[in-house]
Amino acid sequence: MQIAENSVVLMHYTLTNSAGEKLDCSRDRGEPLGYLHGHGNIIPGLEKELTGKQTGDKLVVTVQPEEGYGERHDGLIQDVPREAFQGVDDLQPGMQFQASTEMGPRMFTITAVDGDTITVDGNHPLAGEVLQFDVEITDVRAASAEELEHGHVHGEGGHAH
């Protein structure tokens, strides 16, 4: 079966950045990643390149920022007063939190702590990065009615209810 909209795909992958540094690897978790093709469960550039592939196929996919996690936007970096973090005494760079924005909930990462000024970044950590995926398709099957209704894979490599 070829990968097409509404198919469940199981794949192993290794993700590296343009410097060749390993960022993530499904084999490190011991099981392939499962996703529902055509439902926005993975980044668009990778999903597009997997269309038409089948079990056993191996490929290397390079994804540019606009088809990955987007370009970095300086407007998503801002200084916030420490008092905005009520109840958190020890603020450190690298800490992440979710905040409500005009565009809905967004994850932010603290990038600097300077006295009472906390610098936060709302860009995805991989925004602006050229990404390379080394992929092996381990299984392709039709999605169940429940998976289609829920918009994600159930079972191995997917979501368990």
Three-state SS sequence of 20-64: CCEEEEHHHHCCCEEEECCCCCCCHHHHHHHCCCECCCEEEEEEC
Radius of gyration in angstroms for the set of CA atoms belonging to the chain, rounded to a whole number: 19
Q: What is the pLDDT of residue 160?
A: 54
Q: What is the pLDDT of residue 89?
A: 84
| Cα–Cα distance, 30 to 132 (Å, whole number) | 20
Q: What is the pLDDT of residue 19?
A: 94
Position 160 in a domain: no
Give me 13's structure tokens: 């992958």
Position 14 in a domain: yes
Spatial contact of 127 and 65, defined as CB atoms under 8 Å apart: yes
Residues 72-115 pLDDT 10s: 999 999 999 999 998 888 999 999 998 888 878 889 999 999 99
Position 155 in a domain: no
- Looking at the fold, whether 14 and 33 belong to one and the same domain comes out as yes
- Looking at the fold, whether 65 and 78 belong to one and the same domain comes out as no
- Amino acid identity of residue 152, one-letter, is H
Position 156 in a domain: no
49 is in which domain, residue-wise? 7-69+127-150
Residues 1-17 pLDDT 10s: 999 999 999 999 999 99
Mean pLDDT, rounded, of the chain: 93
The CATH code of the domain that includes 84 is 2.40.10.330
**Percent of the chain scored above 90 by pLDDT?**
86
The CATH code of the domain that includes 40 is 3.10.50.40
Q: Could you list the beta-strand ranges (E) of the chain.
A: 7-17, 22-25, 33-36, 58-63, 77-81, 96-101, 104-114, 117-121, 131-142
Position 65 in a domain: yes
| Cα–Cα distance, 60 to 52 (Å, whole number) | 15
| Cα–Cα distance, 138 to 56 (Å, whole number) | 6
- Looking at the fold, whether 50 and 117 belong to one and the same domain comes out as no
Position 18 in a domain: yes
Position 16 in a domain: yes
If one counts the domains in the chain, the total is 2
Letter string b/e over residues 110-126, b meaning 16 or more CB atoms within 10 A of that residue's CB: beeeeeeebebbbbbeb
